[in-house]
């Protein structure tokens, strides 16, 4: 839906083609687009203004036009600055010298505190640390039951005290953890508005009494310009030490992260990426930067695929590509690898702007992948190695065997041919270097996603 | 306390953001570039988004030129009218329906669906209606318990399914119970879902089909609950939920906390679905029916 920055900058640079350097007015035009991209991504307006000043300084007079892809060089400047702004490497959680370590989760209503108390507990449990969950949200109906249910799922203890104040509950939890030798206490507090003075004072009291190792601000990644104000008040009153950015599995650009980090200076420690308790990931500034700019999470995708696709497999594939021996067996193999990466839609979401939009339009359906797999599995070995022998009667047999239509077979073969062509040219272009994305991109770039597209 | 005063008081935060606009309305400041720039920034800071802001300002510039306006006071009444026009969705008068009226409530996680339903139930109970709350959020831990508490508080009846049950089956039970127990209104709470999750949106469509089959018509209302602190993603939320479930209204929550919420202008413009209620606070009665004109007046009223 949203256009990525690269698509927006494309036409500007096309207009400038052939000229030497970027002049003031050219930079102005570019910066306007950068500004729009950032505002559309919900980055705070003041942060945007400051940011543009920095980038502009670097872009004026730089010889971006001498590079092959001027848009890319400007985007690189913008991207690098964004990454710098979000702070460098990932920040780890702090632990107490003498247990128990106390983590306190704070934030607005509906940000996802209770769920992320559970996620954090699971994350720690995976690393071998047990947590005691403290249910200090006494206001929202059934918040305590929610935490108790999560505790059951995680097989972790949950501390509650009926009719008690949040401070009593939190202190009780810490005392119990000490008594039972549980190394970590995670305190789930009630959501509150930053303007609610009484409730904010309650948190201050909690913080002063418990002296937690981390005060984690749980923030909804979809928050708009309000993010700055909320984060500032929470930080001023509580001294936030880290941020958990939730609901990043949505299609938001997540610019609020930038605003929050800028205001609090606190590192973003985790990102919530799904409804399951295991969906908690470390934060990568570079990935968020490309997401804000609408350039897809190519890095994540590459890393994910690298994890799954062994070097050996890749080398073998590369051999085949260069000799143009890429067979339907390999195609099937890659299809399966790709499915291991995650549901198709998640993978495609990570592709850069244009492609991911295309994918969204094509409405990828897992069932189509099933069908493709069924078709290939219904072929004989000879047919898979040499699709050229697929005459009408073979196609009819395959269609019957896979429960599809002959048209589906035709489409798949056409698709396969295109992929083979593309992989061949890709591999020759790279001078024998291994292609970065070790699977054929669906179709030759046109909107027809072939076997992956829904009819 | 009248509706207007109440609204004005509760809009405390939101009004803050518009104070400069009020000042424009009172002053004879010239319509120069510095003014337009400032104006643009105010709108952007209120989450109007780039596209909507440009649309509003371009239109105002044209009108200002045509009308030969030279100062800001002339412009601001028009601005207010334009925004009201954006928020006003022309509606056909509704045919009377046979009871029960079935209301499906959808939205992303944490937008305030359950709380809004609780408040809505309270409001309807206050009007003497017989209300049934249906807990079709079978995913989130203790979601049904949360709704049960609201049912108890408001004196509404309550139907739930097992945790992990197919939500469509709970919806089915709810509609059947609504008819059998002669309810006036059936409010269905669904699990929060992000709009880009295809399978979860399909699940919503299924719930809708079940209602249509059991009721003989689609749900009478389908409300999308939007958090007013949400930024530009609200547009994507509205568009995709509308595609899946044919929305008939929006509920804008947490408006008391924020000086923003401007994105709803773009939302209403995109999906052409009116705002029905605004949530203005924690208390159970703090859910107000929405009227664009009154709302804007409260927003701009300084005293």
pTM of the model: 0.76
Per-residue pLDDT band at B293 (split at 50, 70, 90):
confident
Q: Give pLDDT, residue A394.
A: 92
Residue A123 forms part of a structural domain: yes
Q: Do B143 and A142 touch (CB under 8 A)?
A: yes
**Does A107 map to a domain?**
yes
Residue A36's domain is classified under what CATH number? 1.20.120.140
Tell me the ipTM for this assembly: 0.87
Residues 6+ apart with CB under 8 A from B234: A222, A224, B226, B227, B263, B264, B266, B267
Regarding whether A205 and A284 lie in a shared domain, the answer is yes
Q: Are residues A108 and A211 in the same domain?
A: yes
Question: Does A134 lie in the same domain as A278?
Answer: yes
Asked if the structure places residue A36 within a domain, the reply is yes
In this prediction, residue B17 carries a pLDDT of 67
**Tokens 């918040």 belong to residue:** A143
Q: Which of A268, A294, A320 is the last residue of a domain?
A: A294
Of A147, A149, A222, the CB nearest to B231: A222
**Band (A314; pLDDT cuts 50, 70, 90):** low
Of A147, A224, A345, the CB nearest to B198: A345
Q: Do B229 and A148 touch (CB under 8 A)?
A: no
**Mutation choice for A interface testing from B233, B253, B257, B265 by most A CBs within 10 A:** B233
> Using the beta-carbon criterion (under 8 Å), do B110 and A224 form an inter-chain contact?
no
B300 pLDDT exceeds 90? Answer: no
Could you read off the pLDDT of B256-279 as tens digits, one per residue?
766 677 888 889 988 999 999 988
A408 and A348 belong to one structural domain: yes
Residue A12: burial class (beta carbons within 10 Å; 0-12, 13-18, 19+) = middle
As given in the structure block, the two tokens for residue A281 are 């990931």
B38 touches A at CB < 8 Å = no
Neighbours of A128 (CB within 10 A): 7
CB spacing of A252 vs B236 below 8 angstroms: yes
Establish if A95 belongs to a structural domain: no
Q: Where among A238, A260, A294 does a domain terminate?
A: A294
Could you tell me which residue, A88 or B292, shows the higher pLDDT? Answer: B292
Whether A266 and A131 map to the same domain: the answer is yes
- The pLDDT assigned to A130 comes to 95
Higher per-residue pLDDT: B115 or A292: B115
Domain count, chain A: 3
Taking the C-alpha atoms of residue A378 and residue A156, their distance in angstroms, rounded to an integer, is 48
* Residue B80 sits at the chain A interface (C-beta within 8 Å): no
Residues spanned by the domain of A413: 300-429
pLDDT at res. A346? 59
Residue B49 in contact with partner chain A when CB distance is under 8 A:
yes
Chains A & B: contacts with CB separation below 8 Å: 140
Q: Which of A56, A85, A114 is the last residue in one of the domains?
A: A85
Mean pLDDT within A58-82: 68
Are residue A265 and residue A361 in the same domain, yes or no?
no
Could you give the dihedral angle defined by the CA atoms of residues A58, A64, A67 and A72, in that order, rounded to the nearest 10 degrees? 80
- Judge whether residue A240 has pLDDT over 80: yes
In a domain, A26, yes or no: yes
A143 and A170 both lie in a single domain: yes
Is A229's CB within 8 Å of B49's CB?
Answer: no
Binned at pLDDT 50, 70 and 90, residue A129 comes out as very high
Indicate the range of A101-110, A213-222, A390-399 predicted with least confidence.
A390-399
Q: Could A249 and B263 be called an inter-chain contact, meaning their C-beta atoms sit closer than 8 Å?
A: no
pLDDT on residue B272:
92
Q: pLDDT per residue over B2-14, tens digit each?
A: 666 766 776 666 6
Average of per-residue pLDDT values in chain A: 79
pLDDT digits (tens, 9 = 90+) for B93-109: 777 778 899 999 999 99
Residue A149 belongs to domain with CATH number: 3.40.50.300
A345 and A264, same structural domain? no
Residues from chain A contacting residue B232 (CB–CB below 8 Å): 2, 40-42, 224, 252-253
On whether residue A367 sits in a domain, the answer given is yes
Percent of all residues in chain B with a pLDDT value above 70, rounded to a whole number: 92
Q: State how far the alpha carbon of A68 is from the alpha carbons of A65, A71, A75, in Å.
A: 7, 9, 13
User: B136-148, pLDDT tens digit by residue?
Assistant: 999 888 889 999 9
The pair of three-digit structure tokens given for residue A386, joined into one six-digit string: 């040499």
Q: At what angle do helices A70-85 and A285-292 cross, to 10 degrees?
A: 130
Domain presence at residue A169: yes
Residue A444 lies in a domain: no
- In B152-303, which ranges are E strands? 157-160, 185-190, 221-227, 249-253, 275-279, 287-289
Do the chains contact at B49 and A108, CB–CB below 8 Å? Answer: no
User: What is residue A357's predicted lDDT score, i.e. its pLDDT?
Assistant: 52
- Give which of B282, B222, B235 is closest to B255, Cα–Cα: B282
Most distant pair of Cα atoms in chain A: their distance: 79
CATH number, domain of A370, equals 1.10.260.30
Q: What is the pLDDT of residue A251?
A: 86
Would the pLDDT of A326 be above 90? no
Residues A69 and A127 reside in one and the same domain: no
Claim to verify: residue A283 and residue A209 sit in the same structural domain? yes
pLDDT the model gives residue A435: 41
CB contact under 8 A, B146 and A141: yes
- The answer on A413 and A305 residing in a single domain is yes
A290 and A316 in a single domain? The answer is no
Residue A308 has pLDDT above 70, yes or no: no
């Amino acid at each position: 839906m949203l256009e990525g920055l690269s698509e927006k900058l494309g036409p500007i640079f096309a207009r400038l083609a052939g000229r030497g350097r970027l002049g003031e007015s050219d930079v102005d035009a570019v910066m306007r687009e950068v500004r729009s991209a950032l505002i559309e991504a919900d980055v705070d307006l003041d942060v945007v203004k400051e940011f543009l000043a920095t980038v502009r300084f670097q872009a004026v007079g730089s010889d971006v036009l001498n590079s092959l892809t001027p848009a890319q060089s400007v985007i690189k400047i913008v991207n690098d600055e964004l990454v710098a702004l979000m702070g460098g490497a990932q920040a780890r959680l702090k632990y107490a010298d003498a247990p128990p370590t106390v983590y306190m989760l704070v934030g607005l209503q509906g940000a996802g505190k209770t769920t992320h108390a559970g996620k954090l507990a699971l994350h720690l449990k995976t690393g071998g640390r047990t947590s005691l969950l403290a249910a200090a949200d006494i206001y929202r109906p059934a918040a305590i039951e929610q935490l108790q249910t999560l505790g059951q799922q995680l097989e972790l203890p949950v501390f509650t005290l009926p009719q008690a104040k949040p401070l009593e509950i939190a202190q009780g939890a810490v005392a119990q953890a000490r008594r039972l030798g549980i190394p970590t206490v995670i305190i789930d507090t009630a959501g509150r508005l930053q303007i609610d003075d009484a409730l904010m004072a309650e948190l201050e009291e909690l913080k002063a009494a418990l002296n937690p190792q981390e005060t984690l601000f749980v923030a909804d990644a979809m928050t708009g310009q309000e993010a700055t104000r909320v984060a500032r008040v929470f930080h001023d009153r509580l001294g936030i030490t880290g941020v958990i950015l939730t609901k990043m599995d949505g299609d938001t650009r997540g610019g609020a992260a930038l605003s929050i980090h800028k205001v609090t200076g606190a590192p973003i420690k985790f990102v919530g990426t799904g409804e399951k308790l295991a969906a908690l990931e470390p934060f990568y500034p570079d990935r968020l930067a490309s997401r804000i700019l609408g350039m897809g999470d190519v890095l994540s995708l590459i890393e994910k695929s690298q994890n799954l696709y062994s070097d050996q497999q890749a080398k073998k594939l590369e051999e085949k590509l260069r000799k143009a021996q890429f067979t339907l067996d390999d195609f099937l193999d890659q299809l399966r690898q790709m499915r291991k990466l995650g549901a198709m839609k998640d993978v495609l979401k990570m592709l850069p702007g244009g492609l991911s939009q295309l994918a969204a339009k094509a409405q990828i359906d897992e069932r189509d992948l099933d069908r493709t797999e069924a078709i290939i599995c219904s072929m004989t070995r000879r047919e898979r190695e040499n699709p050229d022998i697929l005459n009408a009667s073979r196609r009819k047999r395959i269609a019957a065997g896979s429960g599809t239509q002959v048209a589906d077979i035709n489409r798949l073969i056409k698709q396969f041919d295109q992929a083979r062509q593309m992989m061949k040219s890709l591999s020759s272009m790279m001078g024998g270097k291994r292609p970065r994305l070790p699977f054929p991109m669906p179709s030759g770039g046109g909107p027809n996603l072939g076997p992956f597209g829904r009819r | 306390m009248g509706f207007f005063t109440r609204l004005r008081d509760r809009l405390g935060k939101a009004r803050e953001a518009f104070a400069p606009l009020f000042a424009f309305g009172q002053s004879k400041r010239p319509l120069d570039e510095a003014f337009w720039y400032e104006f643009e920034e105010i709108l952007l800071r209120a989450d109007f988004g780039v596209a909507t802001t440009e649309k509003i300002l371009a239109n105002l510039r044209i009108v200002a030129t045509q009308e030969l306006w030279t100062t800001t006071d002339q412009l601001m009444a028009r601005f207010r009218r334009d925004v009201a026009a954006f928020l006003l969705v022309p509606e056909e008068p509704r045919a009377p329906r046979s009871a029960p009226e079935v209301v499906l409530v959808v939205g992303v996680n944490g937008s305030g669906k359950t709380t809004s339903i609780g408040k809505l139930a309270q409001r309807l109970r206050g009007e003497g209606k017989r209300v049934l709350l249906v807990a079709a959020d079978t995913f989130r831990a203790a979601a049904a318990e949360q709704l049960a508490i609201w049912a108890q508080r408001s004196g509404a009846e309550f139907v739930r399914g097992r945790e992990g049950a197919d939500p469509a089956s709970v919806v089915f039970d709810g509609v059947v119970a609504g008819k059998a127990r002669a309810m006036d209104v059936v409010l269905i709470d669904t699990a929060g879902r992000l709009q880009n999750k295809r399978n979860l949106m399909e699940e919503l469509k299924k719930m809708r089909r079940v209602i249509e089959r059991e009721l003989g018509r689609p749900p009478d209302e389908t409300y999308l609950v939007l958090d007013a602190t949400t930024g530009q993603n609200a547009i994507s939320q509205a568009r995709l939920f509308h595609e899946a479930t044919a929305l008939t209204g929006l509920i804008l929550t947490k408006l008391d906390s924020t000086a923003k919420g401007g994105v709803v202008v773009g939302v209403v413009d995109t999906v052409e679905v009116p705002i029905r209620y605004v949530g203005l606070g924690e208390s159970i009665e703090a859910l107000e029916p929405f009227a664009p004109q009154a709302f804007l007046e409260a927003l701009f009223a300084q005293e």
